[in-house]
Amino acid sequence: MKKKGILQLIGIVATIGILGFIAFFGFGSNQTGSIYDVKLGLDLAGGVSITYQTVKEDPTAEEMEDAKLKLRLRAEEKSTESAVYIEGNNRINVDIPHVTDANAILEDMGRIGSIYFIYAEKDGGVENIAYNSETGKYELTRSMDEIIADGLVVLDGSDIADAQPYIDKSDVTVQYLVKLTLNSDGATKFQAATAEASQYYSYTSVDLRSILAIVYDGDVIVAPTVKTTITGTSAVIEGQSSYENASELSSTIRIGALPLELEEIRSQIVGAKLGSEAIQTSLLAGLIGFILVIIFLIFNYRVPGFAASIALIIYVCMIVITLNIFSVTLTLPGVAGIILSIGMAVDANVIIFNRIYEEMATGKTIRSSMKIGFKKSMSAILDGNITTLIAAIVLYFLGSGTVKGFAITLGIGIVLSMFTALVVTRAILSAMFNLGLKSEKAFGKARKTKLRNYVKNGKICVIISATLILIGIGAMIFNKATIGTIFGYNLDFVGGTSTEVTFSDAMPDDIQLQLETGVNGITGLTAEVSLVESTNSAIIKTKNLTQDQRAEISDYLVSTYGVDPELITTENISATVSSDMRKDAMLAVGIATIFMLIYIWIRFKNLTFAASAILALLHDVFIVLTVYALASRYISVGSTFIACMLTIVGYSINATIVIFDRIRENMSLKLKKVTVADVVNDSITSTMNRSIDTSLTTLFTVVALVIFGMDSVREFAIPLMIGIISGGYSSALLTGPVWHFLQSKRKKEA
């Protein structure tokens, strides 16, 4: 046995060494695969900022919003964490993270020109295109202005809704196609044009009158022939040589399908929104929190806690490597997903260890207790993680921006946390047992928890929770009456003012602090300051400023830092979290919740479990909204708000599942003389240690962020901390009594 333990230990040490080397050192001079090679988002590392201006002088607000939406969809192909917002009346700014080559991004984004479907030749008219045998491509023979003036344009960007590549496979051929989706006006125009062009189609020769050419920014990108009349809102472009070509054509059509023609007026590399100091303090807080988790586990669970700590170190290394493999861009919301998955990894270990202690308390041997403990904890761990994984998958496919980024890191974290808890921890524990660490003193034992009447006390908990929620609703009403909104929204949600300033020397380090301290009576001025790389310029984003306030800021910059007033420009900017992104987030959360509840209903074979879970989830969400409402002057609602609420939803469901799993198990063993209330009370008591330990270990990192983090990080960490506390409280003290109440009513009705 000892020899087997030594071999297992050698394997574990080798695994840690290999993973640790990759995670912290990587390969080559660029440290590929290491933590230093992880892509960071705009808030953590900055990126490229590109500003486009409309060719049209006075675009409508609707045209600008539509162009912004389509540009965001294109930018998200480069990174899900891209930010797109309107600047002034006729400019759109695109920020793409983790990029240092503006020219490469401009090339990849494509020229933001205009796209047209034109007649190659109208019956009885002149030729608009001609085939160039030297280049092997069709080229325009007349300018687009002439073609537009002659009414030979079939469709323009305003008629196109979408374009996607796909592969059509048959028994003998593979075709790479582009599927066009048109709006209703576009479909009507296209049907008429294809009906006319298809009359001239021939298998033996090419008649220009049968071609509808696609022209992008003055170039013929493809010239397909029309074989038949196309009806409806869908059409297919054939003849692509590969899937990559079909994908490129789709992207070109999508980016060209703008209601406005845009031209690039500037591109620059900008620094991180949060600043290097915020990143350093966040990393320090994360390290402190992680060390506290390890100390807590070892102190409370001894040998099993040490095994879990080693597994967590392996988990962190695997997270770093996986982020690199999938080229995930890490932002503050992504960090929230990792914090949640670390909490779930610790939770899985805590569930296992408490199960082992329960078996040891019945007189079983440690080896037998380990085997049974892992087996009995399997259902709670799988159900809790699978429900959260379902949410991550739905959020990824239906969400956008920060929601999608959060979903990616959460999904990766869940899969890895299950693996480390169920496989790695078990292997380490087995190795340590085989090495001779098998005494009860080394393993520890369960802490005794007093049996209480949680069902009876549940009424008091419900009153407390209802009171807090009512206070929150009252705060929202008060905020609406006094400040016009129920929460304090930041730039991400309501937009603001962007001031670009060029200093005579390097940007002063204290400028953000000085602005937020107060400028000539302008207080509460939360500022985002980004340095433009390789220049002495900075972009300062603040709340909406009046003309007088803008003048005060300019005067302050001139008098304090000696800035040339001619080198200060100010523009209004729109919200980066647009209404469609908020709708996407709400839709994704709603559908994810429905799927999670369906899973709970199926797994627990009882609708009251699903109903109780949704009530607990809503409770936790409303408690956190109460915090946002009460602290609206100090904690603003921004892009991290969405990630914070998603984290709380995931944590709440996972914590609730553990209680329900124990109730389900105990109900199957219930004797006739034992009441359902007794089962609920016993189930809560037996999982109370787990509820407390998991909440504490998850809080360690978040509390460290609150204590050591900058204001921008603290704004995110405080609501998250309240949500974790609320989730632990609701799962331990509310869900059981609520389930008992619903179950009793159901039986009475039956």
Q: Return the CATH number at 501.
A: 3.30.460.30
Residue 368 burial class via C-beta count within 10 angstroms: exposed 0-12, middle 13-18, buried 19 and up: middle
Report the pLDDT averaged over residues 38-61: 75
Nearest to 361 by CA among 449, 453, 454, 451: 449
**Residue 506 and residue 386 in one domain:** no
Task: Kindly report the pTM of this predicted structure.
Answer: 0.72
SS3 700: helix
d(CA 230, CA 227): 9
Q: pLDDT category, 470, cuts 50, 70, 90? A: very high
**Residue 583 and residue 727 in one domain:** yes
User: Could you tell me which residue, 292 or 575, shows the higher pLDDT?
Assistant: 292
Q: Are 499 and 583 in contact (CB under 8 A)?
A: no
User: Could you tell me which residue, 195 or 36, shows the higher pLDDT?
Assistant: 195
Q: Which of 573, 592, 621 is the last residue of a domain?
A: 573
Q: Which distant-in-sequence residues (6+ apart) come within 8 Å of 493 by Cβ? A: 575, 577, 637, 638, 639, 641
Q: pLDDT category, 82, cuts 50, 70, 90? A: confident
Query: What's the pLDDT score for residue 648?
Result: 82
Report the pLDDT averaged over residues 437-457: 82
Does residue 296 lie within any of the structural domains? yes
**Residue 374 and residue 307 in one domain:** yes
**Residue 590 and residue 736 in one domain:** yes
Report the pLDDT averaged over residues 395-406: 74
Percent of the chain with pLDDT over 90: 9
The number of angstroms, rounded, from the C-alpha of 193 to the middle of its chain's C-alpha atoms is 43
- Residue 661's alpha-carbon distances to 180, 292, 516, 693, in angstroms, are 48, 29, 50, 18
CA angle 470/477/496 to nearest 5° reads 130
Q: pLDDT category, 475, cuts 50, 70, 90? A: very high
Report the pLDDT averaged over residues 674-699: 88
pLDDT reading at 523 higher than 60: no
Lowest mean pLDDT across 72-76, 117-121, 386-390, 656-660: 72-76
User: Could you tell me which residue, 430 or 583, shows the higher pLDDT?
Assistant: 430
User: Could you tell me which residue, 680 or 285, shows the higher pLDDT?
Assistant: 680
Q: Are 68 and 62 in contact (CB under 8 A)?
A: no
3-state helix, strand, coil in the chain (%, to 5): 60, 15, 25
- What CATH number should be reported for the domain holding residue 213? 3.30.1360
**Residue 466 and residue 601 in one domain:** yes
Amino acid identity for residue 506 in this structure: A
Q: pLDDT category, 254, cuts 50, 70, 90? A: confident
Q: Which distant-in-sequence residues (6+ apart) come within 8 Å of 55 by Cβ? A: 260, 261, 262, 263
- Residue 608's alpha-carbon distances to 4, 463, 516, 739, 743, in angstroms, are 48, 21, 50, 6, 6
Report the pLDDT averaged over residues 377-397: 85
pLDDT reading at 690 higher than 60: yes
Report the pLDDT averaged over residues 633-656: 79
Report the pLDDT averaged over residues 505-517: 66
Q: Which of 555, 573, 591 is the last residue of a domain?
A: 573
Strand partners, 155: 117
pLDDT reading at 384 higher than 80: yes
Q: Report the range out of 99-108, 113-122, 515-524, 613-622 with the highest average pLDDT.
A: 613-622
Does residue 331 lie within any of the structural domains? yes
**Residue 322 and residue 408 in one domain:** yes
Query: What's the pLDDT score for residue 467?
Result: 96
Transcribe 423-438 into DSSP letters: IIHHHHHHHHHHTT--
Q: pLDDT category, 525, cuts 50, 70, 90? A: low
**Which tokens hold the place of 204?**
């033996």
Q: pLDDT category, 526, cuts 50, 70, 90? A: low
**Residue 7 and residue 61 in one domain:** no
Q: pLDDT category, 106, cuts 50, 70, 90? A: low
Does residue 490 lie within any of the structural domains? no
Lowest mean pLDDT across 193-197, 545-549, 663-667: 545-549
Q: Which of 70, 91, 107 is the last residue of a domain?
A: 107
Phi-psi region of 151 (alpha: psi -120 to 50; beta: other; left: phi over 0): left
Q: pLDDT category, 539, cuts 50, 70, 90? A: confident
**Residue 361 and residue 439 in one domain:** yes
Q: What is the pLDDT of residues 613-623, one digit of tens each?
A: 889 989 999 99
Query: What's the pLDDT score for residue 711?
Result: 65
> What number of residues does the chain have?
750
Beta strands in 32-149 (DSSP E): 39-40, 47-54, 83-87, 91-97, 115-119, 129-132, 137-140
**Which tokens hold the place of 381?**
């761990």
Does residue 165 lie within any of the structural domains? yes
Phi and psi (nearest 5°) for 174?
-130, 125
User: Could you tell me which residue, 284 or 336, shows the higher pLDDT?
Assistant: 284
Does residue 270 lie within any of the structural domains? no
Does residue 318 lie within any of the structural domains? yes
**Residue 166 and residue 296 in one domain:** no
pLDDT reading at 524 higher than 60: no
Q: Are 41 and 408 in contact (CB under 8 A)?
A: no
Nearest to 638 by CA among 624, 647, 628: 628
Query: What H or E segment, with its residue span, contains residue 547?
Result: helix 547-561
Does residue 632 lie within any of the structural domains? yes
Q: pLDDT category, 599, cuts 50, 70, 90? A: confident
Place of tokens 């009793």: 744
Strand partners, 55: none
Supply the range of the domain harboring residue 312: 2-26+32-38+277-443
Q: Across the chain, what does the average pLDDT equal?
A: 81
Does residue 484 lie within any of the structural domains? no
Number of structural domains (the chain) is: 5
Query: What H or E segment, with its residue span, contains residue 265?
Result: strand 262-270
Query: What's the pLDDT score for residue 279?
Result: 62
Phi-psi region of 183 (alpha: psi -120 to 50; beta: other; left: phi over 0): beta
**Residue 431 and residue 373 in one domain:** yes
Amino acid identity for residue 734 in this structure: L
Q: pLDDT category, 469, cuts 50, 70, 90? A: very high
**Residue 537 and residue 656 in one domain:** no
Q: What is the DSSP letter of 519?
A: B
Nearest to 240 by CA among 133, 187, 168, 181: 168
**Residue 422 and residue 470 in one domain:** no
Percent of the chain with pLDDT over 70: 86
